[in-house]
Structure 1
Amino acid sequence: MYVANTNRYDNTIYNRCGRSGLVLPRISLGMWQNFGKNADYDTMKDIILTAFDHGITYFDLANNYGPDPGQAEINFGKIFNENLKPYRDEIIIATKAGYEMWPGPYGGRGGSRKYLTASLDQSLKRMGIDYVDIFYHHCLDPDTPLKETALCMSDIVRQGKSLYIGMSNYDGKKMHRMYHKCDDYNVPFVVNQNRYNILDRQVEYNSLKKECFSKHKGLVAFSPLAQGRLSDKFKNGIPESSRLYGKPDYCKSIGLDDAQLQYISSLCEIADERGETLSQMAIQWLLKKGVTSVLVGVRNKEQLLENLAALDKPELSDEEMRLIDSCAV
């Protein structure tokens, strides 16, 4: 029987989501790609329990995470109920809905009352839990009025199915509008989740980050390592072991050209000077930028522990932050 590490909170720092009562660890665990049907159960269990033993209390899922869609919730739910259920009040579980999930007109990309309500009910059943702590609208639905989405989120909270509400993949303009709709209907909208890393700073350009901070909302960053590009293995170009090797057209489509590879190599040199890996520096960069929590996805507990070690490194100085920007090609 699993017994959690009694020292798990001794050195863990938690950041508040804006002006809400919700706090999140500086590093949280995401389950986008490594908790599907092909993942090894013992490895998944090892990752989750190692995370909790190190003070990671926030576990992030979505209805469509797998493969197949829904499988990550099933796997997490099994591990949670067999090991972490006694610690439920210490844990933040989040899920999302917004992308296509099931056949027919009500299961596609959406923000309708029908889709969101049904999706959350399915997620709770898959995980075998009574409620989630955060329910995110996963992406904007251009065909559904924001008022309908906000009202549905309000009802979900009142029904006790979620404690807080979040938005994911919104830009600043749409987040601003949703903020006011949620305010109108007393929706506890406390956090945004968006892609954010050294190579992808769209949230800085589309005003999402500015709106998030001015409205006193938390900001959770996913893809902090740019799906593996911000790691030492790219220091000397694309390694043969990478799934990107020998795929120039795909690399071009994601912006991985010679200039970006040169930038990554320069970043590795800065990280070397600091005595850390590029992955660790990339996490430190986000925390310096004011992110509430950095959402990491890992294949094993060793990767998780490497990421957690970033928290033991010195904070990036203002000069180092400028250097990271200045070496861009």
Structure 2
Amino acid sequence: MSTDRYDRLAYRRTGDSGLRLPAFSLGLWQKFGTDYAYDNQRAIVLHAFDLGITHFDNADRYGPPHRAAQKFFGEVLRRDLAAHRDELILSTKAGNPIGRSPYQSGGSRKSLLASLDHSLRDLGTDYVDVFYHHRADPETPLEETVGALVSAVQQGKALYVGVSNYDTALAHRAAELLRQAGVPLLVHQPRYSIFDRTPETGGLLDQAAADGFGLVVYSPLAQGLLTDKYLAGIPAGARALTSAFLTPDAIDDAYRQRAQALNKIASDRGQSLAQLALQWVLRRPEVTSAILGASSPEQLDHNVRALDFPPLTADELALIDGI
């Protein structure tokens, strides 16, 4: 392992807590299931750690099949990173459907705590650092969901708790309930990018500051739309042809015009469109970390270099808003 891994990345405080997370986290949402080569996946994880990326974001749903990403990481943890467990921030989530059983989805106490126990076995660890409710469940009282998160901490199975994909009002209610129980809401994980301003327009950024939780944002590159991959069309094997989360319909003339204009701003700054997009989400102090996906160690290197460029100016931010 690299001995200078803490010299490269900035570590940002998570809301009002004492926990600092790296500006970039590694997400195992896609490309860490059994459909990708283990050795390549392992190389990405170990290189991430060498770069100072200490936060690894997982969920019971990630695969395919479901739970495969956690089992993969558990193997890497056992083989390579066990001696560094105290340097790692491992997060997992439960609540999105992972099977036909009524206990394999939702926000009930049964679903969340049973999934957490299974995740600990997958990962081969006694605790996770952050346990999230993955998605709001309107059929379960929020008090029950929050109670399960509190129990996870009280039982020593999680150090902190979070929510993901909650709207602003529900996140505030969860934060209030957790505060009353003595287990503050550490973090919220929303989607956020130049192309998805919902955390701004929906008031989540302001609410995070008011309630004292941090934001760890996913899809900061909009599933690859905020890279140079699709500027000239859809290349063979691209995610737009293979993923359930991005379809070829998104690569239309309007998209290309916007992406090319953003790429021009990036080029004028001497950086790539992806690096510009990552700088953009990290410009807000409410954002603790941006989750990166990766298909190679080289891609990680490229994206982490986003931190090497000067801050975006007011004029550049205005140009981006106009586009």
Please report the TM-score for the alignment, with normalisation by the length of structure 1. 0.93
SS at match of 2:224: coil
Following TM superposition, the consecutive aligned residue runs of length 4 or more in structure 1 with deviations greater than 4 angstroms are: none
| Pair 1:223 & 2:219 matched | yes
2:312 corresponds to which residue?
Answer: 316
Shift of 1:105: 1.7
Give me the whole-angstrom Cα distance separating, in 2, the residues matched to 1:228 and 1:317. Answer: 24
Structure 2 unaligned residues grouped into runs of 5+? none
Shift of 1:70: 0.2
2:51 corresponds to which residue?
Answer: 54
Out of 261, 265, 281, which is 1:270 matched to?
265
| Pair 1:125 & 2:127 matched | no
Give me the whole-angstrom Cα distance separating, in 2, the residues matched to 1:221 and 1:251. Answer: 24
Shift of 1:53: 0.6
Distance 1:5 1:212, change over 3 A: same
Please report the TM-score for the alignment, with normalisation by the length of structure 2. 0.95
| Pair 1:146 & 2:142 matched | yes
Superposed CA offset, 1:108-164 (max 9, x none): 3x1100000000000000111100000011000001111111111111101000000
Shift of 1:21: 1.1
- Summarize the alignment of residues 288-327 of structure 1 with structure 2, pairs less than 5 Å apart: 288-290=283-285, 291-326=287-322
Structure 1 unaligned residues grouped into runs of 5+? none
Shift of 1:212: 1.2
| Letter in structure 1 aligned against 2:314 | D
Shift of 1:56: 0.6
Shift of 1:302: 0.9
2:16 corresponds to which residue?
Answer: 19
Shift of 1:101: 1.6
Give me the whole-angstrom Cα distance separating, in 2, the residues matched to 1:66 and 1:174. Answer: 28
Shift of 1:316: 1.2
Aligned residues: 320
1:196 corresponds to which residue?
Answer: 192
SS at match of 2:226: coil
- Summarize the alignment of residues 1-329 of structure 1 with structure 2, pairs less than 5 Å apart: 4-108=1-105, 110-239=106-235, 242-244=238-240, 250-252=247-249, 255-290=250-285, 291-326=287-322, 328=323
Residue identity over aligned pairs, in percent, reads: 47
Shift of 1:51: 0.6
Counterpart contact for 2:230–2:251, Cα < 8 Å: no
Shift of 1:184: 1.7
Give me the whole-angstrom Cα distance separating, in 2, the residues matched to 1:63 and 1:140. Answer: 16
Shift of 1:188: 2.9
RMSD in angstroms over aligned alpha carbons? Answer: 1.7
